[in-house]
Amino acid sequence: MRCNVRCRWGLAVIATVVMVGCGGNSTDKTSDNATGTPTASQQQSSEPPPEPTGPEPTQSSQKRPSLNVARLPLGGGTDSPVEDRLQCAEAAWLGSRPLPAGVIVRVRAIKLSPAGVFRLDQRGCGDRQPCPGMRWEGQKALDACFIGARQVTAGAGDVNRVSVSLRGTISCDQLQDCRRALEQTGSDSLTFSPDPHFGEPTEGPPTDSPPPEDPTEVPTEGPLTESPATPTG
């Protein structure tokens, strides 16, 4: 079947109407969204998230490097014994002075060797800075602390020195700083001196009693005898 000119013109008009109709639907949908009316998905995404009701997690602080030191580099002198067998030793830091930045030295414990001769007693140092709990850092490394002790026994054998050592920890920002702080600058000598006459009885005060008689003393004169009287003429 052939289509004449009028038929072809009619088909072209019908195609044009169909295209205009499809374009109108697209324009209407676009205009609906252009009015600013949010869709259901847009309303859901624009709502703020709910606030948390539980506690907020805390950030763990970074652990600093540290070293446990059985014998801190300390030295010093000891005062002469005072009343009640009390003594006081001065402990000075002999490591790196001043300490590197960020380095902190803490005293944790005090050890006496041999044990049993002295007992820790801070009364021997009065009100001076005690070593238990001492903290050195920076320029404070030049400060000294003091250890008090009291002699309780004479000791055994030829004990004439009791060694004093302080155990502690060193913390730092870098591990190499901790090791550098332990570089010793002096001799390590900290001791107590026990009294060798501890426990011996002391001589009492003199008395006014007469000295005892000497049993070996003998009289120089014989006994007196009575002679008879002679008559006179």
**Model confidence pLDDT, tens digit, residues 39-85:** 555 555 556 566 555 445 444 457 899 999 999 999 888 877 767 78
pLDDT in tens, 155-167: 776 678 899 999 9
pLDDT tier at 10 (50, 70, 90 boundaries)? low
Residues 6 or more apart from 164 whose CB is under 8 A from it? Answer: 89, 91, 110, 111, 112, 147, 149, 190, 191, 192
Query: What is the average pLDDT value for the chain, to the nearest integer?
Result: 73
Domain ranges of the chain: 66-192
What is the Cα 169 distance to its own chain's centre? 6
Check pLDDT > 90 for residue 14: no
CA distances from 98 to 27, 74, 140, 182, 188 (A): 82, 14, 8, 12, 18
Q: What is the value of pTM for the model shown?
A: 0.58
**At residue 115, what is the residue type?**
A
State the pLDDT at residue 81: 74
